[in-house]
Amino acid sequence: MKKTFILFITIYAINIQAQKYRKIVPFEYQNKWGIVDSLAKEIVKPIYKSVNIFNDFLYAEFDGKDLYNLQTGEKQKALGKYISSITIQKENYHVFTSDKNSYLVNFKKKSTFKLPHKYNRLEVTQLYNNKNQKAQLFIKAYLDYDTVMILKSDNNLTPLLPQKIDSEKIEYVEKYGDKVIGFIVNSNSQFLFYDHHLENIKKLKAPKRTGYYDMLTKEAAKKLPEIYKTESAKTGCANCESVWDNSWDLDLHKVGFSNKLPYYVARDGRKYVINNKTDTKYSLEIYPELFHYERTYKIISISKGQSSFFYDPEYIKTPRILFPEKYLNVRNK
Protein backbone atom coordinates (compact mmCIF):
# COMPACT_ATOMS: atom_id res chain seq x y z
CA MET A 1 0.00 0.00 0.00
CA LYS A 2 2.84 2.34 0.92
CA LYS A 3 4.66 1.64 -2.38
CA THR A 4 1.45 2.25 -4.31
CA PHE A 5 0.98 5.59 -2.56
CA ILE A 6 4.57 6.63 -3.29
CA LEU A 7 4.14 5.59 -6.94
CA PHE A 8 0.94 7.64 -7.16
CA ILE A 9 2.66 10.70 -5.71
CA THR A 10 5.58 10.26 -8.11
CA ILE A 11 3.30 9.97 -11.16
CA TYR A 12 1.28 12.97 -9.97
CA ALA A 13 4.45 15.06 -9.54
CA ILE A 14 5.67 14.04 -13.01
CA ASN A 15 2.33 14.98 -14.55
CA ILE A 16 2.31 18.36 -12.80
CA GLN A 17 5.85 19.05 -14.02
CA ALA A 18 4.94 17.94 -17.54
CA GLN A 19 2.11 20.46 -17.57
CA LYS A 20 4.65 23.23 -17.06
CA TYR A 21 6.86 22.31 -19.99
CA ARG A 22 6.42 24.27 -23.18
CA LYS A 23 6.23 22.69 -26.60
CA ILE A 24 7.35 25.88 -28.35
CA VAL A 25 9.07 29.12 -27.30
CA PRO A 26 9.86 32.41 -29.07
CA PHE A 27 13.33 33.41 -30.20
CA GLU A 28 14.72 36.63 -31.68
CA TYR A 29 16.99 36.95 -34.69
CA GLN A 30 18.14 40.34 -36.01
CA ASN A 31 15.34 42.16 -34.17
CA LYS A 32 12.63 39.85 -35.54
CA TRP A 33 10.80 37.14 -33.58
CA GLY A 34 10.16 33.53 -34.57
CA ILE A 35 9.34 30.25 -32.80
CA VAL A 36 11.31 27.08 -32.06
CA ASP A 37 10.22 23.78 -30.52
CA SER A 38 11.82 22.12 -27.48
CA LEU A 39 14.56 20.68 -29.72
CA ALA A 40 15.48 24.12 -31.12
CA LYS A 41 13.88 23.28 -34.48
CA GLU A 42 12.54 26.38 -36.23
CA ILE A 43 8.72 26.29 -36.38
CA VAL A 44 8.10 29.88 -37.48
CA LYS A 45 10.73 32.00 -39.19
CA PRO A 46 11.64 35.34 -37.54
CA ILE A 47 9.02 37.54 -39.19
CA TYR A 48 7.42 39.35 -36.24
CA LYS A 49 8.52 42.77 -34.98
CA SER A 50 7.30 42.35 -31.39
CA VAL A 51 6.21 39.73 -28.87
CA ASN A 52 4.26 39.86 -25.60
CA ILE A 53 4.41 36.84 -23.28
CA PHE A 54 1.87 36.42 -20.49
CA ASN A 55 -0.17 34.10 -18.25
CA ASP A 56 2.85 32.48 -16.63
CA PHE A 57 4.71 31.94 -19.91
CA LEU A 58 1.73 30.18 -21.45
CA TYR A 59 0.78 32.56 -24.29
CA ALA A 60 2.78 34.62 -26.76
CA GLU A 61 1.21 37.38 -28.87
CA PHE A 62 3.07 38.60 -31.95
CA ASP A 63 2.53 42.03 -33.58
CA GLY A 64 -1.07 42.10 -32.34
CA LYS A 65 -1.88 39.60 -35.10
CA ASP A 66 -1.08 36.03 -34.01
CA LEU A 67 -1.46 34.30 -30.66
CA TYR A 68 0.25 31.02 -29.71
CA ASN A 69 -0.31 28.64 -26.82
CA LEU A 70 3.29 27.77 -25.92
CA GLN A 71 2.27 24.57 -24.15
CA THR A 72 0.25 23.06 -27.00
CA GLY A 73 1.65 24.93 -30.00
CA GLU A 74 -1.87 26.00 -31.02
CA LYS A 75 -2.13 29.19 -33.09
CA GLN A 76 -5.07 31.58 -33.34
CA LYS A 77 -5.75 35.13 -34.45
CA ALA A 78 -5.00 37.76 -31.80
CA LEU A 79 -7.58 40.44 -31.00
CA GLY A 80 -4.80 43.01 -30.83
CA LYS A 81 -1.71 43.64 -28.73
CA TYR A 82 -1.70 42.19 -25.23
CA ILE A 83 -1.50 44.99 -22.65
CA SER A 84 -2.37 43.52 -19.24
CA SER A 85 -3.80 40.65 -17.15
CA ILE A 86 -6.21 40.93 -14.25
CA THR A 87 -8.05 38.56 -11.92
CA ILE A 88 -11.83 38.91 -11.76
CA GLN A 89 -13.68 36.66 -9.32
CA LYS A 90 -10.63 34.35 -9.17
CA GLU A 91 -10.53 33.97 -12.95
CA ASN A 92 -7.67 35.16 -15.16
CA TYR A 93 -8.60 37.70 -17.83
CA HIS A 94 -6.36 39.34 -20.42
CA VAL A 95 -6.78 42.69 -22.13
CA PHE A 96 -5.98 43.15 -25.82
CA THR A 97 -6.05 46.38 -27.80
CA SER A 98 -6.43 46.71 -31.57
CA ASP A 99 -6.43 49.87 -33.70
CA LYS A 100 -10.06 50.54 -32.79
CA ASN A 101 -11.09 48.58 -29.68
CA SER A 102 -10.01 46.85 -26.49
CA TYR A 103 -11.16 43.38 -25.43
CA LEU A 104 -11.27 41.38 -22.21
CA VAL A 105 -10.57 37.67 -22.83
CA ASN A 106 -10.84 34.56 -20.65
CA PHE A 107 -9.21 31.64 -22.49
CA LYS A 108 -10.33 29.08 -19.92
CA LYS A 109 -14.01 30.02 -20.27
CA LYS A 110 -13.60 30.89 -23.95
CA SER A 111 -15.34 34.21 -23.35
CA THR A 112 -14.61 37.63 -24.85
CA PHE A 113 -15.97 41.05 -23.85
CA LYS A 114 -15.66 44.13 -26.03
CA LEU A 115 -14.82 47.10 -23.81
CA PRO A 116 -16.47 50.54 -24.16
CA HIS A 117 -13.13 52.33 -24.66
CA LYS A 118 -9.80 51.68 -26.32
CA TYR A 119 -7.00 51.47 -23.75
CA ASN A 120 -3.29 51.72 -24.50
CA ARG A 121 -2.15 50.55 -21.06
CA LEU A 122 -3.58 49.29 -17.77
CA GLU A 123 -2.08 49.72 -14.33
CA VAL A 124 -3.68 47.30 -11.88
CA THR A 125 -3.14 48.00 -8.16
CA GLN A 126 -4.30 45.82 -5.27
CA LEU A 127 -6.13 47.73 -2.54
CA TYR A 128 -5.94 46.56 1.09
CA ASN A 129 -8.12 47.19 4.11
CA ASN A 130 -6.77 48.42 7.42
CA LYS A 131 -6.00 44.84 8.46
CA ASN A 132 -3.68 44.39 5.48
CA GLN A 133 -6.08 42.00 3.77
CA LYS A 134 -6.68 42.20 0.02
CA ALA A 135 -9.97 43.90 -0.71
CA GLN A 136 -10.34 45.18 -4.28
CA LEU A 137 -8.53 46.08 -7.48
CA PHE A 138 -7.95 49.66 -8.56
CA ILE A 139 -7.38 50.04 -12.31
CA LYS A 140 -5.90 53.04 -14.09
CA ALA A 141 -6.64 52.68 -17.79
CA TYR A 142 -4.66 54.94 -20.11
CA LEU A 143 -6.55 56.32 -23.11
CA ASP A 144 -3.34 58.05 -24.17
CA TYR A 145 -0.09 58.99 -22.48
CA ASP A 146 -1.64 61.55 -20.11
CA THR A 147 -5.35 60.72 -19.91
CA VAL A 148 -6.79 57.90 -17.82
CA MET A 149 -10.06 56.43 -16.60
CA ILE A 150 -10.62 54.66 -13.28
CA LEU A 151 -12.13 51.21 -13.76
CA LYS A 152 -13.76 48.56 -11.60
CA SER A 153 -12.58 44.96 -11.85
CA ASP A 154 -15.70 43.46 -13.39
CA ASN A 155 -16.35 41.72 -16.72
CA ASN A 156 -16.89 45.05 -18.49
CA LEU A 157 -14.17 47.00 -16.69
CA THR A 158 -16.89 49.49 -15.80
CA PRO A 159 -15.63 53.07 -15.21
CA LEU A 160 -15.82 54.11 -11.56
CA LEU A 161 -15.98 57.74 -12.67
CA PRO A 162 -17.56 58.62 -16.03
CA GLN A 163 -15.11 61.38 -16.92
CA LYS A 164 -11.56 61.21 -18.29
CA ILE A 165 -8.89 62.36 -15.85
CA ASP A 166 -5.38 63.76 -16.14
CA SER A 167 -3.03 60.99 -14.93
CA GLU A 168 -1.29 63.46 -12.58
CA LYS A 169 -4.57 64.10 -10.76
CA ILE A 170 -4.66 60.67 -9.14
CA GLU A 171 -2.68 59.72 -6.04
CA TYR A 172 -2.41 56.59 -3.89
CA VAL A 173 -3.00 56.49 -0.14
CA GLU A 174 -0.69 54.11 1.74
CA LYS A 175 -0.24 52.95 5.31
CA TYR A 176 2.71 51.28 7.07
CA GLY A 177 4.36 48.68 4.83
CA ASP A 178 3.41 50.65 1.70
CA LYS A 179 0.05 48.90 1.43
CA VAL A 180 -2.29 50.90 -0.79
CA ILE A 181 -5.55 51.41 1.12
CA GLY A 182 -7.20 53.93 -1.18
CA PHE A 183 -6.66 56.68 -3.71
CA ILE A 184 -7.44 60.36 -4.27
CA VAL A 185 -8.78 62.03 -7.40
CA ASN A 186 -8.59 65.76 -8.08
CA SER A 187 -11.78 66.40 -10.05
CA ASN A 188 -13.90 69.52 -10.56
CA SER A 189 -11.91 71.50 -7.97
CA GLN A 190 -12.43 68.80 -5.34
CA PHE A 191 -10.29 66.13 -3.72
CA LEU A 192 -12.29 62.89 -3.85
CA PHE A 193 -11.10 60.25 -1.37
CA TYR A 194 -11.82 56.58 -2.20
CA ASP A 195 -11.34 53.64 0.14
CA HIS A 196 -10.50 49.95 -0.48
CA HIS A 197 -14.13 49.30 -1.49
CA LEU A 198 -13.87 51.91 -4.29
CA GLU A 199 -16.35 54.03 -2.36
CA ASN A 200 -16.10 57.81 -2.10
CA ILE A 201 -15.71 58.45 1.64
CA LYS A 202 -14.74 62.14 1.70
CA LYS A 203 -14.69 65.33 -0.39
CA LEU A 204 -12.51 68.39 0.21
CA LYS A 205 -12.11 71.58 -1.75
CA ALA A 206 -9.00 71.54 -3.94
CA PRO A 207 -7.13 74.84 -4.49
CA LYS A 208 -6.12 75.96 -7.96
CA ARG A 209 -2.72 74.64 -8.88
CA THR A 210 0.02 77.26 -9.25
CA GLY A 211 3.37 75.80 -10.20
CA TYR A 212 4.65 72.32 -9.30
CA TYR A 213 3.84 70.72 -5.97
CA ASP A 214 2.38 67.50 -4.62
CA MET A 215 -1.19 66.96 -5.72
CA LEU A 216 -2.51 66.94 -2.15
CA THR A 217 -2.01 70.03 0.02
CA LYS A 218 -0.23 69.67 3.36
CA GLU A 219 -3.45 70.47 5.21
CA ALA A 220 -5.33 67.73 3.36
CA ALA A 221 -2.46 65.26 3.81
CA LYS A 222 -2.62 65.68 7.62
CA LYS A 223 -6.25 64.56 7.54
CA LEU A 224 -5.51 61.21 5.83
CA PRO A 225 -5.34 59.11 9.05
CA GLU A 226 -8.66 60.55 10.18
CA ILE A 227 -10.31 60.06 6.77
CA TYR A 228 -9.12 56.46 6.46
CA LYS A 229 -9.53 55.62 10.15
CA THR A 230 -5.99 54.38 10.63
CA GLU A 231 -3.05 55.42 12.79
CA SER A 232 -0.89 56.21 9.81
CA ALA A 233 -1.67 57.15 6.22
CA LYS A 234 0.41 58.92 3.61
CA THR A 235 0.33 59.70 -0.10
CA GLY A 236 2.05 57.20 -2.34
CA CYS A 237 3.15 57.64 -5.92
CA ALA A 238 0.62 56.68 -8.57
CA ASN A 239 2.88 57.88 -11.38
CA CYS A 240 6.25 56.45 -10.31
CA GLU A 241 8.15 54.10 -12.60
CA SER A 242 8.85 50.61 -11.33
CA VAL A 243 12.49 49.73 -10.67
CA TRP A 244 13.60 46.38 -12.09
CA ASP A 245 16.56 44.34 -10.89
CA ASN A 246 18.40 43.01 -13.92
CA SER A 247 20.74 40.78 -11.94
CA TRP A 248 20.83 37.10 -12.90
CA ASP A 249 23.64 34.61 -12.39
CA LEU A 250 24.14 32.76 -15.65
CA ASP A 251 26.68 30.46 -13.96
CA LEU A 252 23.75 28.69 -12.30
CA HIS A 253 22.14 27.99 -15.67
CA LYS A 254 24.98 26.94 -17.95
CA VAL A 255 23.76 25.00 -20.97
CA GLY A 256 25.72 21.86 -21.75
CA PHE A 257 26.36 20.50 -25.23
CA SER A 258 24.96 17.33 -26.77
CA ASN A 259 25.78 15.25 -29.84
CA LYS A 260 22.76 16.71 -31.65
CA LEU A 261 23.55 20.33 -30.79
CA PRO A 262 27.24 21.00 -30.02
CA TYR A 263 26.68 24.64 -29.04
CA TYR A 264 26.83 25.35 -25.32
CA VAL A 265 27.09 28.25 -22.88
CA ALA A 266 30.43 28.75 -21.17
CA ARG A 267 32.39 31.43 -19.37
CA ASP A 268 35.42 33.20 -20.79
CA GLY A 269 36.94 35.38 -18.11
CA ARG A 270 34.25 37.88 -17.21
CA LYS A 271 32.30 37.24 -20.38
CA TYR A 272 29.68 34.60 -21.17
CA VAL A 273 29.89 32.97 -24.58
CA ILE A 274 28.35 30.31 -26.78
CA ASN A 275 31.00 27.82 -27.84
CA ASN A 276 30.97 25.01 -30.37
CA LYS A 277 32.41 21.68 -29.24
CA THR A 278 33.52 20.82 -32.78
CA ASP A 279 35.10 24.20 -33.54
CA THR A 280 37.48 25.55 -30.91
CA LYS A 281 37.74 28.91 -32.70
CA TYR A 282 34.00 29.51 -32.47
CA SER A 283 32.92 31.91 -29.72
CA LEU A 284 29.81 34.09 -29.65
CA GLU A 285 29.49 36.59 -26.81
CA ILE A 286 26.19 36.67 -24.90
CA TYR A 287 24.78 38.25 -21.77
CA PRO A 288 21.75 37.46 -19.57
CA GLU A 289 18.89 39.80 -18.77
CA LEU A 290 15.29 39.63 -17.56
CA PHE A 291 12.11 39.67 -19.60
CA HIS A 292 9.72 42.04 -17.83
CA TYR A 293 6.20 40.70 -17.76
CA GLU A 294 4.14 39.09 -15.01
CA ARG A 295 7.27 37.38 -13.74
CA THR A 296 10.92 37.64 -14.62
CA TYR A 297 11.53 35.17 -17.43
CA LYS A 298 15.14 34.62 -18.32
CA ILE A 299 16.37 35.63 -21.74
CA ILE A 300 19.90 35.35 -23.10
CA SER A 301 20.92 38.01 -25.59
CA ILE A 302 23.46 37.32 -28.31
CA SER A 303 25.61 40.40 -28.61
CA LYS A 304 26.22 40.07 -32.34
CA GLY A 305 23.19 40.28 -34.59
CA GLN A 306 20.45 41.64 -32.27
CA SER A 307 19.33 38.14 -31.36
CA SER A 308 18.20 36.36 -28.20
CA PHE A 309 16.56 33.24 -26.79
CA PHE A 310 14.68 32.29 -23.64
CA TYR A 311 15.97 30.01 -20.95
CA ASP A 312 14.01 28.86 -17.92
CA PRO A 313 14.52 25.31 -16.57
CA GLU A 314 11.04 25.34 -15.06
CA TYR A 315 9.45 25.42 -18.51
CA ILE A 316 12.12 23.97 -20.77
CA LYS A 317 12.55 20.23 -20.37
CA THR A 318 16.12 19.86 -21.63
CA PRO A 319 19.01 22.27 -20.96
CA ARG A 320 19.67 23.24 -24.57
CA ILE A 321 20.06 26.48 -26.45
CA LEU A 322 16.60 27.17 -27.84
CA PHE A 323 17.83 29.00 -30.89
CA PRO A 324 18.07 27.61 -34.46
CA GLU A 325 21.54 26.31 -35.19
CA LYS A 326 21.67 27.92 -38.65
CA TYR A 327 21.44 31.37 -37.04
CA LEU A 328 24.19 30.54 -34.57
CA ASN A 329 26.64 29.84 -37.35
CA VAL A 330 28.02 33.40 -37.35
CA ARG A 331 31.58 34.03 -36.27
CA ASN A 332 32.76 37.01 -34.29
CA LYS A 333 35.17 39.16 -36.26
Q: Give the span between the Cα atoms of 224 and 182, in whole angstroms.
A: 10
pLDDT at 9: 45
Taking the CB of residue 214, how many other CB atoms lie within 10 A of it? Answer: 11
Predicted TM-score (pTM) of this structure:
0.81
Report domain extents, the chain. 79-235
User: Tell me, what's the pLDDT at 10?
Assistant: 42
Q: What's the confidence (pLDDT) of residue 293?
A: 47
pLDDT for res 312: 76
Phi and psi angles of residue 325, each rounded to the nearest 5 degrees, phi first: -60, -35
Which string of b and e fits 19-38 if b means at least 16 CB within 10 Å?
A: eeebbbbbbbbeebbbbbeb
Could you please report the per-residue DSSP string of 296-309? EEEEEEETTTTEEE
Mean pLDDT by 10 residues, the chain (333 residues): 48 49 94 94 96 91 97 96 89 94 94 93 90 87 93 89 91 86 92 95 84 75 93 80 50 69 84 87 82 62 86 76 84 46
Contacts 24+ apart (CB under 8 A), 146-150: 149/117, 150/185
CA distance linking residue 328 with residue 318, whole number of Å = 19
Q: Which contacts of 46-51 are long-range, i.e. CB under 8 A and separated by 24 or more positions? A: 50/81, 51/26
Question: Comparing C-alpha atoms, which of 208, 162, 170 is closest to residue 186?
Answer: 170
* DSSP-assigned beta bridge partners for residue 28: 33, 308
